[in-house]
Structure 1
């Protein structure tokens, strides 16, 4: 894998660290300030959205270029250049704040300084994108940029009417559809908060808690270590929407464990890659794309969660079944129970870490905005972390009273404001006052200073972890701006619609291939934005519900990170598994094979995503159709698992694997009587396989 491809990994692991120099301390302070700025704007919205977006990008580039500068040799040209670019990027980000009123008054009539600063800003975003993700995404954006500038010279129907250079720069820099468009708005409001939320929970011990719960729950069962990987990655997905980050965090523990228990290195890496990528579709937090999707479609985030929950569960069931069957094929046992932690014991010891997640879920499902839910969830997490050393020296009765009082006061934050002693105070302000009090107390109690240091490190790490997502959101704004200016997406949409007039299935295949090809070089966020901008409207014209079409694109954007030749999640697992990334990618496709079918099932039967519509729901009713599709999906997963692994109750011969595969495929077909033929073939196969592997037959063999 090339260095540029390695840089495309949507994790902050490859970004230079803080180090120990004076420059490192400065960067650490910048990262903490960045996080504090984002929390301040999230809690109080003191600045216009356009200003917040610009400063968000400014902080991203300041921190990114600064980290690369600090990693360069002292007194080198690279170090000087990177620090210069870092400072320049932040100064440019102040332009929208300083000239905010003037920019509104002269909207549509940019001045020469506007154009010059715009060119610098766009150029810096391109450079940051290249440093962050390699050349693939910047080159794609350059193609779109050149199309906006010179597309009028292309033959019909690819050409457009032509736009002045100033118009293109204005759209990309001064408008809300360029580098400061919807993706960076979502990054600056929702995504950063949830990344910070995950950073606090991880440093507080959530990873260890998830691993202990998973180990205690399934570690002793057949293929237990691999099942631990599936469950811990699913749980991590609830707080961390970055698939590749999940690979390098949970995989560092689970992949060696799977290898020691008897799984082959490629399979172990494949399990971790597939399970970790599923974190992006695992509610309640999901991946950054979910927030962008909600903003793009103008839907409450809860609607995205509702559409994602069943496919996410089916996805992880697929991986779980594959692991179980592979362990059976190899004759592997679980780990000794005596060596495993207690799941209940782990929960009893660290139950308080679950509270912020519970509060977050409750707020999201109660109709609060992700911005409010994330802010309150972040505040509750900090309260718990800071409260532990304060209460640790208290007698039990006093400790209980302390936590009850803290909980009651924190509950006030669930309201936007409340009245106390005649003063109206916002709920989030009460949390801020409580945090201030706990910070001061922590200076005086044993272990308090270490806890304060942990909080500062969490703020800094959260800012660093936001770099890949934020830079990708800014850079992909170039594509959105050009598409909005020229309407180029309609050309590709017409191709999909023309294909779909003859076959919706072929249109879906074309869209899937587009997602997989784009995903070979760019992260999930730009992949989703590009394909949804082009394919979403086309699928809508083919009567696919808009949310379902966007989830279809989202799903295959994730699967692209598992698909060779550039399977980013597989290559992230390669150094841990000590195996070829290509071999891990092939195993990942084998493990996730049934998962490729779920988005297609959702298009033809939207009930799987809890959406109205579809011929099946109209004929059977919503809930009967839902139950029917879930049963069909589960049966298909088992049959495809047997075909891919070559084992169910016993080993399968080649012709039996073909039988199982075709039976499952028939259930997913849309031809007349295909369901009936598929179910009959599945039942016949199960009866045959049970009869062949029954106890007397096994003994005779």
Structure 2
């Protein structure tokens, strides 16, 4: 009997392995085809945008279906087998069939229908809506499909809603056709963003990751962290900043960098929930960092009608304040929790051993059979342990900076469109990586082999990473389209102003809550677009500059990634750390609390966005001082525990430094309050860190 069970288990594992290889081959083929197609469109713009979106969405629905297929379905329960062996293949095939239908009937639907559609159009449109909702559920969980479903229910049953939500209601047929075959709703501006900016820069991020960017940022972070008392905990901050800027997703950033940084933090003695919260907060902000900002910079420039250069310029100081505050908070929390800080090399060696112990010779995911070399955790850790400082680590990865410099040059100097610049950046990235491989490897044949494997895997990663976001943008496009049909978008901005009673601070508070709610569980770019369409007009009505309004909404859409009950970044990192979600979310909010203040700070101090001399030179350091003061007060720690009196005084002084310019008093009095608060903060910092004694020691040594 045991022999029979063993044989059946071996057969099951063999079938699972074959299915996994088939899944990998399918994703690889789709990835190669998808990258070639999207690069062709970026270079030529060879077909109409609506046709391009048809191909893009059809391809992404197929990619999500394949990616979500569980190769262990053969050994699962009945419902699990039915879902994987019947439902997912049917949905994948239906996604392709819908795309074929839209393509073959495009001229009639786009130019000849004049609002009159057939019964088959209605059926196909209904199928498209259902596919979008269910495939998004598979990729992102239930929250985002519920938002889309709520929009449909709202459109159908408008007469039953109270107050500003009330409207006449839409017939089912009009709702379906307007959201699909009329090339509104799903096939509208938000999906267009996915089919252009998002896909091209996620492909670029995938190539950078496959060619070593993740290992590079981990190594730089580890080397830089070795100079600080908080040690390797700064690795999460630095690596998440680097990767987040190009991949533009808090969820993807948490999953990729967290898989490396969280074990390292735990090895150093950091509590698992704290390690997860550090990675969550660090991962949430990468997409605010210029020059790429996860493609948000290009979208913001388009919507506001300003230049890309203008957007990244005004976005730089807030981003530096964001990560400077996070780094300081992580430093304080690490010291507060008394982590057993050891030598960096020792920690990495232990982490390497742990990874090796966990990595059995079992094929579990497509990454286990990947042709690429950059998913090997032990290899990245081995590279991190090489001798040399942070400068040598930076220099070793200069080949990764060349494409970024090319991108900035094409956008700022040659004024290429983001799509065309993205195409040439990817074209530059590929041969640059090949040359680097050949120059740094003794065996040229092995260098070419690994380069080809990494390149093919980059294609797979690019399309798989885009697919989930594309489905999310389709659902959110449908949601926004429904709100437009019902007239809600036209009344929401005015309703926010009316609800606030014209009180500016109250309006900002309502805008913050709305942006966080709209952003929960969504990709950052989709959350930003939805939030800005609904909220930014209300801020503009009370005199906020349009770019300031966009950045205010953008920051809170990002911070929704660490805001319960969804907190997508916390969900991912808590699973990676084997921690408790609510504890991770609570610590993330504690670490990230000053970041929720930051958007109010740059609204109150516009010198942080629109540079001036000496205004910006004075305001930026004061803003950083105030933010770290709030951080220390909430953590109840500054080189030692803080009493309640110290905590309260620190909060009052920090708020004074940050918001004195908007106090209802004359300018000289506000300036005096700000100066007094800044002096008090600096004196307190000096006292808690015993700066006089340190200066005396330095003078004595000299």
TM-score by length of 1: 0.82
Secondary structure of the structure 1 residue equivalent to 2:601: helix
**2:430 and 2:623 mapped to 1: Cα distance?**
41
Show the 5 A alignment for 1:395-544: 445-544=445-544
1:369 aligns with 2:417: yes
Pick aligned residue for 1:179 from 186, 202, 212: 186
Deviates more, 1:99-108 or 1:117-126: 99-108
Pick aligned residue for 1:655 from 645, 664, 667: 645
**2:24 and 2:263 mapped to 1: Cα distance?**
33
Pick aligned residue for 2:125 from 118, 133, 137: 118
Q: 1:202 to 1:636 in 2, by over 3 A?
A: same
Deviates more, 1:17-26 or 1:345-354: 17-26
Q: Deviations over 1:105-133 (max 9, x none)?
A: 32532320333322222221122122222
Q: 1:590 to 1:475 in 2, by over 3 A?
A: same
Q: 1:208 to 1:135 in 2, by over 3 A?
A: closer
Q: 1:101 to 1:299 in 2, by over 3 A?
A: farther
**1:176 and 1:301 mapped to 2: Cα distance?**
28
Post-superposition shift, 1:313? 0.6
Q: Residues 389 and 446 of structure 1 are in contact (CA less than 8 Å); yes or no, is this contact kept in structure 2?
A: no
Post-superposition shift, 1:183? 1.4
**1:72 and 1:331 mapped to 2: Cα distance?**
42
What is the match of residue 94 of structure 2?
A: 88
Q: How many residues align?
A: 625
What is the match of residue 687 of structure 1?
A: 683
What is the match of residue 353 of structure 2?
A: none
Q: 1:361 to 1:72 in 2, by over 3 A?
A: same
Q: Residues 269 and 570 of structure 1 are in contact (CA less than 8 Å); yes or no, is this contact kept in structure 2?
A: yes
Q: Residues 18 and 67 of structure 1 are in contact (CA less than 8 Å); yes or no, is this contact kept in structure 2?
A: no
**1:105 and 1:475 mapped to 2: Cα distance?**
25
What is the match of residue 99 of structure 1?
A: 105
What is the match of residue 621 of structure 2?
A: 631
What is the match of residue 391 of structure 2?
A: 344
Q: Deviations over 1:312-360 (max 9, x none)?
A: 1100000111123334445668654777642333344443222112212
Post-superposition shift, 1:685? 4.7
Q: Residues 282 and 309 of structure 1 are in contact (CA less than 8 Å); yes or no, is this contact kept in structure 2?
A: yes
Deviates more, 1:239-248 or 1:144-153: 144-153
Deviates more, 1:159-168 or 1:503-512: 159-168
Show the 5 A alignment for 1:8-407: 20-22=20-22, 24-69=24-69, 71=71, 73=73, 76-78=81-83, 79-112=85-118, 113-152=120-159, 154-155=161-162, 157-329=164-336, 336=343, 341-342=387-388, 343-366=390-413, 367-388=415-436
Q: Deviations over 1:601-642 (max 9, x none)?
A: 22233332227xxxxxxxxxx333323321321120231132
**1:296 and 1:256 mapped to 2: Cα distance?**
41
Pick aligned residue for 1:667 from 657, 667, 678: 657
**2:677 and 2:396 mapped to 1: Cα distance?**
50
**1:43 and 1:311 mapped to 2: Cα distance?**
33
Secondary structure of the structure 1 residue equivalent to 2:130: helix
Q: 1:578 to 1:147 in 2, by over 3 A?
A: closer
Structure 1 unaligned runs (5+)?
1-15, 396-441, 612-621
Deviates more, 1:684-693 or 1:646-655: 684-693
Q: Residues 110 and 170 of structure 1 are in contact (CA less than 8 Å); yes or no, is this contact kept in structure 2?
A: no
Post-superposition shift, 1:162? 4.7
Q: 1:626 to 1:346 in 2, by over 3 A?
A: closer
**1:187 and 1:692 mapped to 2: Cα distance?**
49
Post-superposition shift, 1:498? 1.5
Q: Residues 225 and 233 of structure 2 are in contact (CA less than 8 Å); yes or no, is this contact kept in structure 1?
A: no
Post-superposition shift, 1:274? 0.9
Q: Residues 272 and 578 of structure 2 are in contact (CA less than 8 Å); yes or no, is this contact kept in structure 1?
A: yes
Q: Residues 516 and 559 of structure 2 are in contact (CA less than 8 Å); yes or no, is this contact kept in structure 1?
A: yes
Q: 1:643 to 1:478 in 2, by over 3 A?
A: same
Q: 1:595 to 1:335 in 2, by over 3 A?
A: same
**2:165 and 2:246 mapped to 1: Cα distance?**
43
Q: Residues 224 and 234 of structure 2 are in contact (CA less than 8 Å); yes or no, is this contact kept in structure 1?
A: no
Post-superposition shift, 1:660? 0.3
What is the match of residue 4 of structure 2?
A: none
Q: Residues 291 and 408 of structure 2 are in contact (CA less than 8 Å); yes or no, is this contact kept in structure 1?
A: yes
**2:510 and 2:104 mapped to 1: Cα distance?**
47
Post-superposition shift, 1:389? 5.3
Post-superposition shift, 1:264? 3.0
Q: 1:665 to 1:451 in 2, by over 3 A?
A: same
Q: 1:566 to 1:155 in 2, by over 3 A?
A: closer
Q: Residues 240 and 285 of structure 1 are in contact (CA less than 8 Å); yes or no, is this contact kept in structure 2?
A: no
Q: 1:607 to 1:683 in 2, by over 3 A?
A: closer
Secondary structure of the structure 1 residue equivalent to 2:462: helix
Q: Residues 294 and 300 of structure 1 are in contact (CA less than 8 Å); yes or no, is this contact kept in structure 2?
A: yes
Secondary structure of the structure 1 residue equivalent to 2:270: coil
**1:640 and 1:470 mapped to 2: Cα distance?**
38
Q: Residues 570 and 584 of structure 2 are in contact (CA less than 8 Å); yes or no, is this contact kept in structure 1?
A: yes
Secondary structure of the structure 2 residue equivalent to 1:142: helix
Across the aligned residues of Structure 1 and Structure 2, the Cα RMSD in angstroms comes to: 3.0
Post-superposition shift, 1:518? 4.0
Q: 1:312 to 1:667 in 2, by over 3 A?
A: same
Post-superposition shift, 1:459? 0.3
What is the match of residue 6 of structure 1?
A: none
Q: Residues 242 and 280 of structure 1 are in contact (CA less than 8 Å); yes or no, is this contact kept in structure 2?
A: yes
TM-score by length of 2: 0.82
Post-superposition shift, 1:103? 2.7
Q: Residues 258 and 268 of structure 1 are in contact (CA less than 8 Å); yes or no, is this contact kept in structure 2?
A: yes
**2:589 and 2:549 mapped to 1: Cα distance?**
22
Q: Deviations over 1:149-173 (max 9, x none)?
A: 3324545543335544443333211
What is the match of residue 676 of structure 1?
A: 672
Q: Residues 636 and 647 of structure 2 are in contact (CA less than 8 Å); yes or no, is this contact kept in structure 1?
A: yes
